[in-house]
Amino acid sequence: MYHSKLNLIDTEIGIKIIKACFEENLAYKLNLLRVSAPLFLIANTGLNDNLSGNELPVSFHSSSMDLEIIQSLAKWKRMALYRYEIEKGAGIYTDMNAIRPCETLDNLHSLYVDQWDWEKNIDLEERTLDTLKTHVELIYKSIKETEKGLYEEYPCLKCKLPEKITFITTEELEEMFPSYSPSEREKEICKIYGAVFLIGIGGDLPSGNKHDSRSPDYDDWQLNGDIIFYHEALDCALEISSMGIRVDAETLREQLKKADKEERMSLDFHKMVLNEVLPYSIGGGIGESRLCMYLLEKVHVGEVQVSAWSEEIIKECAKKRIFLL
């Protein structure tokens, strides 16, 4: 039977420690300035994130404007780099709060999403795999230092993360586990290494299948990936971050064509990419509740964030001694 190592008050203190420590480390290591984030955006500008391309945002009308609750800030951040005139080698980060109404609710998924969203201005020559890996390692070091600080406050919690994160491509992973589904592959590789960065999500694999879908207009599918940890209590892969080097004009055209979304080229954001107005950048989102859930050894995201749950889920959690905030 599951039993949380921390009571309610200590859980809330632990959440505060994680968020304060990680945010400070992330900003320092990546040279990021904290900025304010929108809760909603004007519809039909191309700024709201389409995620995998199938999710529909919450929308409403106000003051002669059609508005959408954000799903993530993947494209808004790149526009912010341009508008705030952030210099090369520097970037921004923000607390993103979003609603994703299409999520299927379970231990890992909520209607409410909170994450640190960050974006950094880079040179054209830095659009490389080495640049991607360097930033992954800096983020991982920030998580490791946060884990250490949390352990000093609550030694009942374990330091679970390996010293280094392992890099592997989706093609290599498919070759290792050809008969497995993508989620099964992620679980198996995370059980082996504990912490993995999976490179190359969105494009077709040699088998003709995709590892996972990604919207074609923010990440370069060859230069992106996910930070994934093994969650021992749930025996599953836990995605902590999705990130990547952003599309340039050429990559945007190619990926929109492959995704049959070429009509997006008429949107304001996409025109700015195609006309090379926006800076080259790298960025991503790091799940706040996901990271808290992992480090605090919780088995349900509702133990570290307040959301809405069905009566069925609430009753099931109560049976398993899972206290939802």
Which residues, including other chains, have CB under 8 Å from residue 13's CB and lie 6 or more apart?
Answer: 153
CB contact at 8 A, 46 and 217: yes
Which residues, including other chains, have CB under 8 Å from residue 242's CB and lie 6 or more apart?
Answer: 201, 224, 225, 226, 284, 285
Annotation marks residue 226 as catalytic: yes
Give the other-Cβ count within 10 Å of 52's Cβ. Answer: 13
The full DSSP string for 262-288 is: GGGGGSHHHHHHHTT-SPPEEEEEEEH
Annotated catalytic residue within 71, 241, 242, 281 = 242
CATH number among 3.40.50.2300, 3.30.930.10, 3.30.70.360, 1.10.8.60, domain 8-319: 3.30.930.10
pLDDT of 197: 98
In whole angstroms, give the CA distance from residue 55 to residue 63.
25
The average pLDDT across 252-277 equals: 94
Annotated catalytic residue within 137, 174, 239, 254 = 239
- What is the three-class DSSP state of 167? strand
Annotation marks residue 125 as catalytic: no
Dihedral (Cα; 21, 287, 162, 195), 10-degree rounding: -160
Question: Where do the structural domains in the chain lie, given as residue ranges?
Answer: 8-319
Tens digit of each residue's pLDDT (9 = 90 or more) over 84-110: 999 999 999 999 998 888 888 899 999
Annotated catalytic residue within 72, 115, 222, 307 = 115
pLDDT of 62: 83
pTM for the predicted model, two decimal places = 0.93
In whole angstroms, give the CA distance from residue 259 to residue 265.
12
Annotated catalytic residue within 23, 49, 219, 220 = 49
Give the bridge partners for 219, in sequence order: 246
Tens digit of each residue's pLDDT (9 = 90 or more) over 18-71: 999 999 999 999 999 999 999 888 887 777 776 665 667 777 888 888 888 888
Please report which residue ranges of the chain form alpha helices under DSSP H: 8-30, 74-83, 129-153, 170-176, 182-193, 249-258, 268-274, 288-295, 311-319
Annotation marks residue 142 as catalytic: no
Annotation marks residue 239 as catalytic: yes
pLDDT of 144 > 80? The answer is yes
In whole angstroms, give the CA distance from residue 70 to residue 74.
10
Annotation marks residue 242 as catalytic: yes
Give the bridge partners for 59, in sequence order: 68
CB contact at 8 A, 14 and 5: no
Q: What per-residue string of b and e applies to 143-165 under the rule 16 or more CB within 10 Å gives b?
A: bbebbebbeeebeebeebbeeeb
Annotation marks residue 297 as catalytic: no
Q: Would strands 40-42 and 32-34 be described as parallel, antiparallel, or unpaired?
A: unpaired
More confident residue, 50 or 134: 134
Annotated catalytic residue within 23, 119, 186, 226 = 226
